[in-house]
Structure 1
Amino acid sequence: MATIRDVAKRAGVSVATVSRVLNQNGYVNEETEKRVRQAMEELNYKPNEVARALFKKTSKTVGLIVPDITNPFFPELVRAVEDVMNIYDYTVILCNSDEKAEKEREYIEVLKQKYVDGVILTTNQFAPEEVEEWDVPIVVLDRPLHERYPSVVADNYGGARLATRHLYEIGCRRIAHIQGPTHVINAIERFRGYQDEMKALGLGDRQFVIQGNYQLKQAKEAVMDALAKQEIDGIFAGNDAMAVGALKAVQQSGLRVPEDIAIIGYDGIPLTEMTTPELSTVSQPIYEMGAMAARILIKQIERKPLEKLHYQLPVQLVVRQSTSRRGLT
């Protein structure tokens, strides 16, 4: 394998000159640079990217921290970020934090050591002053952190009101909400949307909240327990994974969906089309969110101006069999 010394010898220049060409650092006249690049091509020389990163304190890599890669929402988000970053020749380092703040901090230290050029966060557990110390471009995706950092989110509050109203319009009056993690901002916004819509519908005193923590199994167990204590005819789950858990719980309790209990989720993941019955959902533009966040990060890295800092994308009600009007009065 050719070394930088071999390239210098073939081109008839010093090692320092080859280094300047590689790192685009310092003046090299056009003719000399042409000889160096020709020598690199003839010798099939591949630069040591680790060494270049140490020298330039840049690496053509970005970090992406997600809270739970087993949640079907996040793989599509990750795919979008990766697709856009690949266009610009950036590599994505994926970090799965399991919703643990300490693990997220450990990942940040690792990313800093690797001289990543930027970070996309899908978490809101960091304090703004912590993030400021990282000294790299930051974009916040799905879960807003602080107004000073660019963000891409969906209309969580409006989507929750849309889901709750839909259940009411098909005849549900005892509508329960399966809530996500109480520290996660989008779960809080969906819960707030549910509360406000229930009040607007004159059902403020009939609110019933089930804790599901964005987990399918936990939601299933919580709904099974709730059905033994409370009469429910509609369920708005804070994400689609919990909606699937609710569906399993209702069916295992000997009840029918939607005839006895109608169910709607939130996210719009493909899994909702694979259940029986198929699940209604509030669909987020997941891929578009990830791609937009990646493009914003690229602009920051290249020090280009941003048209605006914060984007809130609209959501869409997708009605399927789990909220069919049949059997509801």
Structure 2
Amino acid sequence: MAASIKDVAKEAGVSIATVSRVLNNIDVVNEETKKKVLEAIKKLQYRPNIVARSLKTQRTSTIGMIIPDISSQFYPEIVRGAEDVANIYNYNIMLCNTDLDLDKEMEYLKVLREKMVDGILYMSNSLQPKIVELIEQLQIPMVLIENIDDQKKFPSVTIDNESAAYDAVNYLVQKGNKKIAYIGHKNNEGNVNSFRYLGYKKALKENNMKLDEDLIYCEGLKVEDGYKGIIKIIEKQKIDAVFCGSDECAMGAINALRERNIKVPEDIDVVGFNDVYEASVFYPKLTTIAQPMYDMGSVGMRMLIKIINKQKLGQSHYILPYQLVERDSCKK
């Protein structure tokens, strides 16, 4: 039979109220008494009744995480960073995968509200007006990871995606490349991928290179998108480099080129984005923009826990540093 709070109080020789104060981190219990209570909890393997406790405190010690695509190699490291911090502060995580589906995103937001989560870490490729409106209605503590809303209403953690893409394309230009293709996303929803496309365009313009729609393929960021995209591009134009909006996309492009006896980097330079683990073991090893994925998760979670506990944030919008990692998919 599971131990009760009454059993803990009896073992420690204190009142039930004292045990409750220790469990709720109320600083009126002296260290010696607190130590006795914690030792009794450990000895009896006591676990608080979360349902009863949440009804009283209006807290569940649970944080929701909404991610766009669990199959992507990008998000697991963010989740790991967030979970490590959540564990330090004794929060549980409820993970929701939306498959880049707007209706799913909206439904999960409502479900997490019904489950009385204390806050939400929200990851999405875009923040459509419907989502922003719903978040405001639900009034749940929220931190955005990977994205930022237009009016900066919600705290966020991201990198400067436009500058990162700009640097990647400039790097390709400095290698002497004249025809640089782009595979990824572009739209008018202000999402992170559209920022990468803007960086691509900016770099071309500043290097007096014409924007050629035949060199652009914007259908997605998965392996198959890179594979299909590069085939479609090289059927129309001869290129000497390609910038991809994700590492998976870059790997798909390289596979398609290899099947056609086009060598990377001897014939075509390829740059990816994110620096997932596979980028360092794929052949050829990918030159890519490295995002601090673990830090994005851990910083976002620390911000959210501060908001939940009504503590002041050092800053509301963190733009973390990125790095261009040079490997073997570009000419030396």
**TM-score normalised per structure 1:** 0.87
Describe the shift of the 1:83–1:315 C-alpha distance in structure 2 as closer, same or farther (beyond 3 A). same
Q: Which of 239, 250, 275 is the matching residue for 1:268?
A: 275
CA RMSD of aligned residues (A): 2.9
Farther-moved stretch of structure 1 (151-160 vs 183-192): 183-192
Counterpart secondary structure, 2:83: helix
Farther-moved stretch of structure 1 (216-225 vs 184-193): 216-225
In structure 2, C-alpha distance between the alignment counterparts of 1:238 and 1:158, rounded to whole Å: 13
1:127 aligns with 2:128: no
The residue that corresponds to 1:211 in the other structure is 218
The residue that corresponds to 1:318 in the other structure is 325
Seq. identity, %: 33
Q: Which of 203, 224, 247 is the matching residue for 2:254?
A: 247
In structure 2, C-alpha distance between the alignment counterparts of 1:109 and 1:48, rounded to whole Å: 24
1:306 aligns with 2:307: no
Q: Which of 168, 173, 177 is the matching residue for 2:173?
A: 168
Equivalent residue runs for 1:73-88 within 5 Å: 73-88=74-89
Equivalent residue runs for 1:1-329 within 5 Å: 1-2=1-2, 7=7, 41=41, 45-123=46-124, 124-125=127-128, 126-145=130-149, 146-180=151-185, 182=187, 183=189, 185-206=191-212, 208-325=215-332
Segments of structure 2 that go 5 or more residues without pairing to the other structure are none
The Cα offsets for residues 263-308 of structure 1, whole Å up to 9 and x where unpaired, read as: 0001111111111111100111111111111111111111111122
Tell me the CA shift for residue 217 of structure 1.
1.1
Tell me the CA shift for residue 127 of structure 1.
3.3
- Structure number with greater Rg is 1
State whether residues 23 and 56 of structure 1, in contact with CA within 8 Å, keep that contact through their aligned partners in structure 2. no
Tell me the CA shift for residue 181 of structure 1.
6.0
Segments of structure 1 that go 5 or more residues without pairing to the other structure are none
- 2:70 partner letter: I
The Cα offsets for residues 86-132 of structure 1, whole Å up to 9 and x where unpaired, read as: 11111111111101111112212221122111101112245322111
- 1:300 partner letter: I
Tell me the CA shift for residue 259 of structure 1.
1.2
In structure 2, C-alpha distance between the alignment counterparts of 1:203 and 1:187, rounded to whole Å: 21
The Cα offsets for residues 189-229 of structure 1, whole Å up to 9 and x where unpaired, read as: 00000001101111124462112411111221221222212
In structure 2, C-alpha distance between the alignment counterparts of 1:266 and 1:142, rounded to whole Å: 13
What is the number of residues matched between the two proteins?
Answer: 319
- 1:170 partner letter: K
The Cα offsets for residues 216-262 of structure 1, whole Å up to 9 and x where unpaired, read as: 11221221222212211100001111011111111112201011111
- 1:46 partner letter: R
- 1:295 partner letter: R
**TM-score normalised per structure 2:** 0.86
The Cα offsets for residues 121-158 of structure 1, whole Å up to 9 and x where unpaired, read as: 11224532211122221100001124111111111001
State whether residues 195 and 204 of structure 1, in contact with CA within 8 Å, keep that contact through their aligned partners in structure 2. no
Describe the shift of the 1:44–1:170 C-alpha distance in structure 2 as closer, same or farther (beyond 3 A). closer
The Cα offsets for residues 171-190 of structure 1, whole Å up to 9 and x where unpaired, read as: 21110001236346110000
Counterpart secondary structure, 1:133: helix
- 1:143 partner letter: N
